[in-house]
Amino acid sequence: MSIPRALLSVSDKAGLVDFARRLHDAGVQLIASGGTARQLAAAELPVAAVEDLTGFPEILDGRVKTLHPAVHGGILARRTSEHLDELAAHNLAPIDLVVVNLYPFQQTVARPNVTLAVAVEQIDIGGVALLRAAAKNHESVTVICDPADYDAVAAAVANGGVDDALRMQLALKAFQHTAAYDSAISSYLAAQITGESADDESTLPQQINLSLTQFQLNRYGENPHQQGGLYAYSGEGAAFEQLHGKEMSYNNWLDLDGSWSSAQDFSQPTVSIIKHGNPCGLASATTLEAAYEKALASDPVSAFGSVISVNRPLDAATAKSMSGLFVEIIAAPAYDEEALALLRKKKNLRILLARPVVDHPLSVRSIYGGVLVQEVDRSQADMDPLTWRVASQRQPTPAQLADLAFAWRVARHVKSNAIVYVQDEATIGVGAGQMSRVDSVMVAGHKAGERAQGAVMASDAFFPFADGIEAAAAHGIAAVVQPGGSLRDDEVIAAVDKMGLVMVFTGTRHFRH
């Protein structure tokens, strides 16, 4: 289909002028609304304003500008003689290309302290109507909702027109885009209603509408007989850009999620080394290089073939230290040029750059017959040692308290039953996912070895019996942080005092299944 006339009305103006110029050079007549028209005119491109087409000015502070038969008639008309004659009878003409992206509702409500009134003004009406009209009539009309598609469409127009397959693909993308947009609005409004009426009983929405877009089809899922892929929330970009290395797998993404979230949970330069979903080494220090060396020392055997994330731009010194270990993935918020050059020498190493994404406070997990939804575990109150209760007779030293705070924060990133041994703000042994808490204590003690002497331990949930504490003491643990709340807390406290240990209660547990 050739493109004689195009309507452009975009909120995100990235790439707009170059795209419009390519359309103009191909002989396309440009029509635009509001700020889009002003930007094209400033670039000295011939452009007709929407009000010239409709004969009616924008009204209601711009709330109504494209909702008019001159616009929607031109978009929705079939290219039959009957419809074309009807348009001509009303002095109207077809519109062959619609380029629209919507008001940034998702980005607006993701900002802190946004009021309902501000959020409502970012609900696009005319733009959604334009996209749906053009997508419905994709047999004759090309629709673009994403600047990433400018190049493909401009090239097609320059070569004579847009083919059926591309128009269909773009129409599907437009409907997916508006569906995700409506989903975001409904979820936001549901949360507002729930928050106002729940009396602090629940902040979960009554209804959740999910719209996901496939970003990557993996070779397979967790195992070769399972299909798997990466999906992102529709209308949002991917969270990571891959700079180097072979394709990410399903399991790679899972491990990266654990590694990235755990590293970002700390304020000091921090390195998280993940293997099979659990930290085998996590440490903070004054520099990333020092944090990496401490994290690696935690369990260098398990670190082979691991996933590593950092919470600072990755520098050359740290990259050089990492080069001696076989690693599947490295993720960072930024990379020094020298660091990137060093890492790229490893052909298969996947190097990922994190991108800012919309913060989603809910975790959604599939189960048989439905999904489980919960808030993401980001509690901060119990991470402050000033909120803890010292349950033992012996008081923690400042150094112990610092390590206990570090261990407690690590514990919420370890699969339950979670036990974390820490010394000098670095893990030295991790026991994860055991059916018995005592077994987790023994696994962490085995990993720590002699380093456990005088170290501290965190447990994600309470000790139901004293045996777990006694096993930790046998390994040399001197201080323990745990939620407390067991029916046998008195028994456990008595055992702690008998052994001369320190024990503090946080009052909060951090199961991670």
Q: What is the pLDDT of residue 49?
A: 82
> Is residue 492 predicted with pLDDT exceeding 90?
yes
> Is residue 51 predicted with pLDDT exceeding 70?
yes
Instruction: Report, as an integer, the average pLDDT of 229-250.
Output: 89
HSE of 155, CA atoms in CB hemisphere, 13 A: 6
HSE of 171, CA atoms in CB hemisphere, 13 A: 18
Nearest alpha-carbon partner for 271 in 305, 238, 319, 304 = 319
Task: Round the average pLDDT of the chain to a whole number and report it.
Answer: 90
Q: What is the pLDDT of residues 269-317, one digit of tens each?
A: 999 999 999 999 999 999 999 999 999 999 999 999 999 999 999 999 9
Q: What is the pLDDT of residue 198?
A: 41
Identify how many contiguous H helices and E strands the chain contains and give both numbers: 18, 21
Which is catalytic among the residues 136, 244, 320, 346? 136
Structural domains of the chain ordered from first start: 5-189 (3.40.50.1380), 239-354 (3.40.140.20), 381-505 (3.40.140.20)
> Is residue 145 predicted with pLDDT exceeding 70?
yes
Q: What is the pLDDT of residue 200?
A: 47
Instruction: Report, as an integer, the average pLDDT of 233-240.
Output: 81
Q: What is the DSSP string of 315-340?
A: PHHHHHHHTTS-EEEEEES-B-HHHH
Amino acid making up residue 401 = L
Q: What is the DSSP string of 344-401?
A: TTSTT-EEEEE-------EEEEEETTEEEEEE-----GGGSGGG-EE-SSSPPPHHHH
> Is residue 144 predicted with pLDDT exceeding 70?
yes
Percent of the chain with pLDDT over 90: 59
Q: What is the pLDDT of residue 199?
A: 42
d(CA 36, CA 124): 15
d(CA 490, CA 40): 75
CA 95 to chain centre: 37
d(CA 231, CA 228): 10
Poorest-confidence range of 105-109, 348-352, 493-497? 105-109
Instruction: Report, as an integer, the average pLDDT of 432-446.
Output: 96
Q: What are phi and psi of 339, to 5 degrees?
A: -65, -45
177 is catalytic: no
Poorest-confidence range of 131-140, 422-431, 444-453? 131-140
Contact status, residue 335 vs residue 353, Cβ threshold 8 Å: yes
Which is catalytic among the residues 68, 276, 320, 346? 276
Block residue for tokens 């003491």: 473
| CA angle 387–388–393, rounded 5-degree value | 145
d(CA 26, CA 424): 66
Instruction: Report, as an integer, the average pLDDT of 140-161.
Output: 89
Q: pTM, whole model, 2 decimals?
A: 0.72
Contact status, residue 8 vs residue 99, Cβ threshold 8 Å: yes
Instruction: Report, as an integer, the average pLDDT of 10-38.
Output: 88
> Is residue 197 predicted with pLDDT exceeding 60?
no
Poorest-confidence range of 15-24, 184-193, 448-457? 184-193
Q: In Å, what is the CA distance from 288 to each residue of 45, 194, 259, 272, 427?
A: 50, 43, 15, 11, 15
Encoding tokens for residue 157? 């127009």
d(CA 259, CA 302): 14
Poorest-confidence range of 61-65, 293-297, 362-366, 421-425? 61-65
Nearest alpha-carbon partner for 406 in 462, 461, 456 = 456
d(CA 484, CA 507): 6
Highest mean pLDDT among 3-17, 102-116, 192-206, 376-390: 376-390
276 is catalytic: yes
